[in-house]
Chains A and B, each alone.
Chain A
């Protein structure tokens, strides 16, 4: 077990290293930031000075090496635009994305699991089929489309919620959250619903598949034969067992939500990390883009690792060593 975890850790490290090289090389091809920063009337000499200041005159491998040694200290340089630390800019925006992603996952779990269990228990009923068809809608409709429709319906036509932006925030130590006040929650609900639509569809499908797999098992039959109340059979014996795939998928999806928030945040002008990424790409603000991508790489890689290990802990039948060989 320990050996497996160490091996997986090493693999994860390798993945992160390779991705860092790819990110760095990829970003190097994106436009020349000097052209953007210097005024159009700048002389070649001035441009050269900026280039030297940014360290862009050094050979590529040296730039990469400097980048790497600074990256392990979480220093990705300063934003070309604002001069602030790129890492700081991202961390500043992180709570906004965090509360959005968390609320979205919460909604999709609360709605998705009961619907999925129902569809799994009675696969032939009309309602179950509607749920399943609905789930196809949920994950096939593009995210931004769902957002637009929600804006049109709830913001423009009904006027119940704001069409974008983030409500007033409250300080919780170093981080600011808007989820705990009514106005903030009102502006959070539409973007969260947008993300939840897609994730909910997935949770429904996973739950249904897991339920159908568990139902014919002996422990369910035995629980029923013991004469346990149906509520207990489903609520304890079934739920415990279907939670394994749901937690796995849910965990992986939580990471994806962070990345996919790019689209939703743009639609709703939500001041999170995703909006920052888009703005930075448009403005060729290289340090911020690199910092964002590196954080995402590490975050997703760690999440994969945790889910893998968590899987083993949750389900004693799965042994990492056995499957990895």
Chain B
């Protein structure tokens, strides 16, 4: 927390046009990031999870959506058992529909991460745009936009998402919409806070004197300097988004049964948990926990480095 922040604004004020400046800044950032072993390990775990999700069709022993490859006799097999001719080992067991839990997790991870990345990216873009506009124009526009943000944030995200999904219905696209709605406000607030500081700096004044258009000033000059705090929010929000999607799917208002995310898998396994068939629910739960915690650890360390001072 108490780490001294390098005066980034000095470099950026010079316009990061020359490669040398950019390289040293990047190197400094990498060196700072590497100072925490936990964060590096978390980053590696995160990258592995992403790779596992992307390459799921090639990595998974079985395609859990291909009904032909499922044999209902293999349902609820404990971890480590094999199918009838021994050609396939269910390392993490099978679920109630004879799906290999490991394969289901890999495919589920794909959907969870996809929903997370898409919603956070969209929320980032919308929130940053609103925040920058509010900070740049100030006055009534600012007051109005920030009241909207306040109102949005005063409501617990889970409630907003629940009610929205109740209105929209199930579906991956609808979950993404709901996640964008509950997340954009965080970005808007952070972008505004960062941009208000930047607005009064000399380089913005210089850009104004050159009669550049406001969107050019905002986009090319102010925005790049607001990225560090926004990246911290984005990382932590990615974990939030994945956890929230899992929660919504668990409650039965998230993704449809045909596209099971990790949360859906956990929800499916819940009914078997009480009868002692723990693995159907437990392993997807562990996968979800690993991803969410890894992202949070990376985000936590990023916040220490970039220190936007806007959260506890």
The segment out of A2-10, A42-50, A52-60, A136-144 that lies at the interface is A136-144
Q: Given the complex of chains A and B, what is the CA–CA distance between A289 and B166 in angstroms?
A: 11
Across-interface contacts of B293 in A (CB, < 8 A): 136-137, 140-141
Which secondary structure characterizes the binding site on chain A? Answer: helix
Q: Given the complex of chains A and B, what is the CA–CA distance between A296 and B159 in angstroms?
A: 10
13 pairs across A/B with beta carbons < 8 Å?
Answer: A15-B151, A19-B155, A133-B38, A136-B293, A136-B297, A140-B239, A145-B266, A148-B266, A148-B270, A151-B274, A156-B274, A156-B278, A259-B158
Across-interface contacts of B155 in A (CB, < 8 A): 19, 297, 300
Among B159, B162, B288, contact of A145 (Cβ-Cβ < 8 Å): B288
User: Which residues of chain A in 271-287 are interfacial with respect to chain B, using CB atoms and an 8 Å cutoff?
Assistant: 277-278, 281-282
Shortest CB distance B133–A (Å):
21
User: Do B154 and A15 touch across chains, with their CB atoms under 8 A apart?
Assistant: yes
The segment out of B65-73, B192-200, B248-256 that lies at the interface is B248-256
Shortest CB distance B302–A (Å):
13
Q: Given the complex of chains A and B, what is the CA–CA distance between A27 and B159 in angstroms?
A: 13
- Kindly name the residue among B158, B252, B276 whose own CB sees the greatest number of chain A CB atoms within 10 A: B158
Task: Look across to chain B and name the residue whose beta carbon is closest to the beta carbon of A301.
Answer: B154
Task: Look across to chain B and name the residue whose beta carbon is closest to the beta carbon of A145.
Answer: B285
- Kindly name the residue among B167, B244, B293, B295 whose own CB sees the greatest number of chain A CB atoms within 10 A: B167
User: Do B239 and A26 touch across chains, with their CB atoms under 8 A apart?
Assistant: no
Shortest CB distance A9–B (Å):
16
Assess whether B176 is interfacial by the CB under 8 Å rule: no
Among A26, A202, A260, contact of B163 (Cβ-Cβ < 8 Å): A26
Assess whether A236 is interfacial by the CB under 8 Å rule: no
Shortest CB distance A298–B (Å):
12
User: Do B167 and A145 touch across chains, with their CB atoms under 8 A apart?
Assistant: no
User: Do B247 and A144 touch across chains, with their CB atoms under 8 A apart?
Assistant: yes
Across-interface contacts of B295 in A (CB, < 8 A): 140
Q: Given the complex of chains A and B, what is the CA–CA distance between A142 and B281 in angstroms?
A: 14
User: Do A148 and B247 touch across chains, with their CB atoms under 8 A apart?
Assistant: no
Q: Given the complex of chains A and B, what is the CA–CA distance between A161 and B92 in angstroms?
A: 27
**Chain B residues within CB distance 8 Å of chain A:** 1, 38, 151, 154-156, 158-159, 162-164, 166-167, 239, 243-244, 246-247, 250-253, 263, 266, 270, 273-274, 276, 278, 281-282, 285, 288-289, 292-293, 295-297, 300, 312
Given contacts A151-B273, A259-B158, contact A18 B243 (CB under 8 A): no
User: Do A152 and B312 touch across chains, with their CB atoms under 8 A apart?
Assistant: no
User: Which residues of chain A in 249-265 are interfacial with respect to chain B, using CB atoms and an 8 Å cutoff?
Assistant: 249, 256, 259-260, 262-263
Shortest CB distance A113–B (Å):
15
Across-interface contacts of B166 in A (CB, < 8 A): 30, 281, 289
Q: Given the complex of chains A and B, what is the CA–CA distance between A206 and B311 in angstroms?
A: 10
Among A18, A141, A202, A281, contact of B253 (Cβ-Cβ < 8 Å): A281
User: Do A256 and B288 touch across chains, with their CB atoms under 8 A apart?
Assistant: no
Assess whether A304 is interfacial by the CB under 8 Å rule: yes
User: Do A142 and B288 touch across chains, with their CB atoms under 8 A apart?
Assistant: yes
User: Do A140 and B292 touch across chains, with their CB atoms under 8 A apart?
Assistant: yes
Assess whether A209 is interfacial by the CB under 8 Å rule: yes
- Interface size bucket, A side? 35 or more
Across-interface contacts of B251 in A (CB, < 8 A): 144, 262-263, 266, 278
Across-interface contacts of A202 in B (CB, < 8 A): 312
Q: Given the complex of chains A and B, what is the CA–CA distance between A284 and B158 in angstroms?
A: 18
Across-interface contacts of B250 in A (CB, < 8 A): 144, 263, 266
Among B158, B243, B296, contact of A262 (Cβ-Cβ < 8 Å): B158
Pairs A-B, 4 closest by C-beta atoms: A140-B296, A259-B156, A142-B243, A281-B166
- Kindly name the residue among B158, B163, B274, B278 whose own CB sees the greatest number of chain A CB atoms within 10 A: B163
User: Do A136 and B273 touch across chains, with their CB atoms under 8 A apart?
Assistant: no
Q: Given the complex of chains A and B, what is the CA–CA distance between A25 and B61 in angstroms?
A: 48
Across-interface contacts of A289 in B (CB, < 8 A): 163, 166
User: Do B151 and A145 touch across chains, with their CB atoms under 8 A apart?
Assistant: no
Q: Mark A149-188, 1 if CB is under 8 A from B, else 0.
A: 1011001100000010000000000000000000000000
User: Do B292 and A260 touch across chains, with their CB atoms under 8 A apart?
Assistant: no
Assess whether A29 is interfacial by the CB under 8 Å rule: yes
Q: Given the complex of chains A and B, what is the CA–CA distance between A300 and B158 in angstroms?
A: 14
Q: Given the complex of chains A and B, what is the CA–CA distance between A209 and B243 in angstroms?
A: 26
Q: Given the complex of chains A and B, what is the CA–CA distance between A30 and B253 in angstroms?
A: 13
Across-interface contacts of A209 in B (CB, < 8 A): 1, 312
Shortest CB distance A31–B (Å):
8
Across-interface contacts of A278 in B (CB, < 8 A): 162, 251
Shortest CB distance A289–B (Å):
8
Shortest CB distance B248–A (Å):
9
Q: Given the complex of chains A and B, what is the CA–CA distance between A202 and B312 in angstroms?
A: 9
User: Do B312 and A263 touch across chains, with their CB atoms under 8 A apart?
Assistant: no
Given contacts A148-B270, A266-B251, contact A206 B154 (CB under 8 A): no
Across-interface contacts of B273 in A (CB, < 8 A): 148, 151-152, 156
Across-interface contacts of B162 in A (CB, < 8 A): 262, 277-278, 281
User: Do B312 and A142 touch across chains, with their CB atoms under 8 A apart?
Assistant: no
Q: Given the complex of chains A and B, what is the CA–CA distance between A29 and B168 in angstroms?
A: 8
Across-interface contacts of A155 in B (CB, < 8 A): 274
Among B156, B159, B296, B312, contact of A206 (Cβ-Cβ < 8 Å): B312
Known A-B contacts: A266-B251, A281-B163. Give 20 more (CB < 8 A): A29-B167, A136-B296, A137-B293, A140-B292, A141-B243, A143-B247, A144-B266, A145-B246, A148-B266, A148-B270, A148-B273, A152-B281, A152-B282, A163-B274, A209-B1, A260-B158, A262-B158, A289-B166, A297-B155, A304-B154
